[in-house]
């Protein structure tokens, strides 16, 4: 309808989900971060077998991954902030918070899944490590349905 006094409403645009860190205790943080870092260590050590271009060290919550062709990655726990920090020779420094997706009013409590997410752009630590280091682990794409994928609103 051309210019009318009663225009039809526009179809609503999808709203982006605001990414918020999960409200976890320090005990939960340590449990989640330690499990993540232990899994990462095992996966990188497996990559090390037969590949002299990879070196990994892990002590006191700090992991250093040396890649001959890329440089050093430092991944560490930051308990006061309940974050995992990453220093990458490619993407620079990032701080990841634990974010739970899939736990809404319409879903059973405890049914959501979590991941370490960089709140500024919604990127996941597992995805970044997969892309830059080549380590496969964490939630796969199928676990994060497009409507559940956290996005950042400006």
Q: Where are the domains of the chain?
A: 26-143
pLDDT value, residue 134: 93
Is pLDDT of 35 > 80?
yes
pLDDT digit string, tens, across residues 74-123 = 999 999 999 999 999 999 999 999 999 765 544 445 556 899 999 999 99
Question: Which CA distances in Å does 7 have to 13, 14, 28, 62?
Answer: 17, 21, 52, 60
Q: Which segments within the chain are labelled E, that is strand?
A: 54-59, 62-67, 71-78, 83-88, 92-101, 113-118, 123-124
The domain made up of 26-143 has a fold known as Metal Transport, Frataxin; Chain A (3.30.920)
Going from the C-alpha of 20 to that of each of 33, 63, 152, the distances in angstroms are 17, 26, 9
Q: How confident is the model at residue 136 (pLDDT cuts 50, 70, 90)?
A: confident
pTM of the model: 0.73
Q: What is the Cα–Cα distance from 6 to 76, expressed in whole angstroms?
A: 58
């Amino acid at each position: 309808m051309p210019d009318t006094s009663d225009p039809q409403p526009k179809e609503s645009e999808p709203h982006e989900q605001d990414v918020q860190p999960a409200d976890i205790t320090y005990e939960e943080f340590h449990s989640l971060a330690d499990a993540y870092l232990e899994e990462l260590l095992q996966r990188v050590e497996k990559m090390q077998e037969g590949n002299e271009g990879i070196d990994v060290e892990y002590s006191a919550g700090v992991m250093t991954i040396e890649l001959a062709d890329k440089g050093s990655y430092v991944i560490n726990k930051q308990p006061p902030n309940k974050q995992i920090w990453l220093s990458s020779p490619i993407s620079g420094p990032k701080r990841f918070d634990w974010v739970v997706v899939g736990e809404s009013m319409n879903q059973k409590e405890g049914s959501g899944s979590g991941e370490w997410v960089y709140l500024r752009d919604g990127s996941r630590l597992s995805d970044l490590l997969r892309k830059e280091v080549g380590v496969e682990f964490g939630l796969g794409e199928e676990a994060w349905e497009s409507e559940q994928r956290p996005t950042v609103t400006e």
